[in-house]
Amino acid sequence: MKFFDTHAHIGLINEDPIDQLIIVSEARQAGVQHIVSICNNLQDFFQVYENLKTANYIYHSIGVSPSEVSHPGKDWERKIIEGSAFDRIVAIGEIGLDYFRKFGNRDSQIELFIRQLELAAKLDFPVIIHNREAGSDVLDILTEKLPPKGGVLHCYSEDWAYARQALELNLYISFAGNVTYRNAKNLHETALNMPLDRMLIESESPFMVPAAYRGKRNRPSYIGATAEFLAELRGLDSEEMADILYNNACRFFGIQE
């Protein structure tokens, strides 16, 4: 079976560039053919990109997450434009809103989010969306500002009613290891009912480790456990589900194989 990890914070798993290469090589041995590397800020993006530039199966997203709203960096828009021209850049993100951590204030988060959505439209990229306790505002903004290439709600945490609204837009929904948790009934309902062709998976490494690996620091190589859970939930053969998820990711990120 082959897997596509659509969201991994490789730079947070280990800051040593040699160990980062070991981690992604380990993932390949576990059937993870591609990984999208996610960084919350631009300084980390450029460093991780440099560390992994020889790993041609690693793709990258560039953007400023809501956690950085108070310090997005000097000339951040220009740096996103410049960085987006690098090889294997497939999305703008992660971007969005986080009202749980109360980064900056809501108005400043919303402004940063909208400016990057507009930038994604200008640069012709899809977006990777972070949403934590900001579901209503995220959906309202995406209804008006989602770029033509669409987006993915990463590490989905809302319920099926919210998903139905989101799926009316050009959005995919990505499940992380938390979908495997026994008490995640809202995620189970969503994963059971949503269209298979709009579903993605991610490791969200080093966070959201699947239940089978509880107590460990998450790694992209563990993503097979998430795919296996979804296969059982949907009553599908494991290899069939893995193929569906893999092909969905290639289609969303515009990767030709």
Q: What is the CATH number of the domain that holds 207?
A: 3.20.20.140
Say what the pLDDT of residue 12 is.
84
Say what the pLDDT of residue 63 is.
98
CA separation for the pair 152, 82 (Å, rounded): 23
pLDDT digits (tens, 9 = 90+) for 182-220: 999 999 999 999 999 999 999 999 999 999 999 998 999
Residue with tokens 């990767």, as numbered in its chain:
255
* Cis bond before residue 68 (omega within 30° of 0): no
CA separation for the pair 195, 169 (Å, rounded): 13
Domain count, the chain: 1
Which pair of tokens denotes residue 36?
């999208």
Asked if residue 169 is part of any domain, the answer here is yes
pLDDT digits (tens, 9 = 90+) for 82-132: 999 999 999 999 999 999 988 889 999 999 999 999 999 999 999 999 999
- pLDDT bin (cut points 50, 70, 90) of residue 19 is confident
Tell which residue, 88, 73, 16, has the closest CA to residue 43: 73
Asked if residue 30 is part of any domain, the answer here is yes
Say if CB 30 and CB 224 are below 8 A apart. yes
Say what the pLDDT of residue 249 is.
98
Asked if residue 146 is part of any domain, the answer here is no
Domain that holds residue 39: 3-91+153-253
For the chain, give the percent of residues with pLDDT over 90.
88
Asked if residue 124 is part of any domain, the answer here is no
Q: Is 9 annotated as a binding residue?
A: yes
Q: Is 60 annotated as a binding residue?
A: no
